[in-house]
Amino acid sequence: MLRLRAQLLKKIRDFFASRNVLEVETPLLCQSTITAPYLHSLTTRYHLPGQNNKPTTLYLQTSPEFAMKKLLANGSGDIYQICKAFRDEECGALHNLEFTILEWYRIGFDHHKLMNEMDDFLQFTLNSSKAKRYSYAEIFQKYLNINCLAASNSELIECAKKNGFTDLAIFANEDKDTILQLLLAQFIEPHLGKKVPVFIYDYPPSQAALAQISTTEPKVGERFEVYINGVELANGFHELNKGQEQKERFLHDLKIRQKLRLPKIPLDNEFLEAVEKLPNCAGVALGVDRLLMLIAKVNSLSDVL
């Protein structure tokens, strides 16, 4: 397994070297972190030497995204990074509190161009066949025969009932995005990528995260995920480059965190300034340990860590 991992890391570096994408290294400990309510950061406390002042809380990063975007805003050009990332409250066959992440950004790309490159990457590292692609709306239509973007919460819950979901109480007081995610996880994801990788793209605007919102109708978040053997392998965005809009999304996250009684996260104002100067680009984060699982043909992260 050690040799397989070493071979994979070499392949990854060879792939990006052939495309003149620069490898970088950024801090794992930072004074802020992602505000997303359902991603939980590990923290530590730092005491300045020789001072009896209040210790500083530092966050272990859930991904290197914020720091890498600061580099992009300062003219780094195309970059990638292989590093550790950390997420609290994650454990299981496909989750671990510490994991290896590959993240890369391409100047002048939208999410469609980055899907092309991700497809090339999977063929190079996994020897996979060319991937299939479906929009988020198409994949719900294909497996559940419902217009997920237009459907109401009650229509989505009725869809779950028709498809054999019995624990309907789980939907009580949930918002539309949570219901959609439950439907996706229960009825769609297990079927994805059984023969070839599958991309899902153009998510509901409310699930855009750090992606741009399209100017098309209906508006969608310019984001994609790729699945193999029913497992999500990577998550990519046509990156938002409007600082005020990004700040509003973060503040919305913080309101949800407050409602859920989660710790308040300080805003990273340097990051928001960087977003405003971000060149047109697309980026993606991929779980290296999950990729290694596919190469080794095992079913649990514990087999590759």
* DSSP assignments along 166-213, one per residue: --GGGGTT--HHHHHHHHIIIIIGGGTTSSS-EEEEEE-GGG-TTBPB
pLDDT digits 0-9 by tens, 174-221? 889 999 999 999 999 999 999 999 999 999 999 999 999 999 888 999
* Residue 118 belongs to some domain of the structure: yes
For residue 58, what are the contacts with CB-CB under 8 A and spacing of at least 6?
Answer: 29, 30, 31, 43, 44, 45, 46
> The domain spanning residue 86 has which CATH number?
3.30.930.10
Total-model pTM:
0.94
pLDDT at 51 over 80: no
* Residue 257 belongs to some domain of the structure: yes
* Residue 144 belongs to some domain of the structure: no
Task: Determine the structural domain holding residue 223 and report its residue range.
Answer: 2-131+196-303
* Residue 160 belongs to some domain of the structure: no
* Residue 219 belongs to some domain of the structure: yes
Residue 220 burial (C-beta neighbours within 10 Å; 0-12, 13-18, 19+): buried
* Residue 161 belongs to some domain of the structure: no
Number of domains in the chain: 1
* Residue 256 belongs to some domain of the structure: yes
* Residue 76 belongs to some domain of the structure: yes
Mean pLDDT across 238-267? 94
pLDDT computed for residue 304 by the predictor: 96
pLDDT computed for residue 28 by the predictor: 96
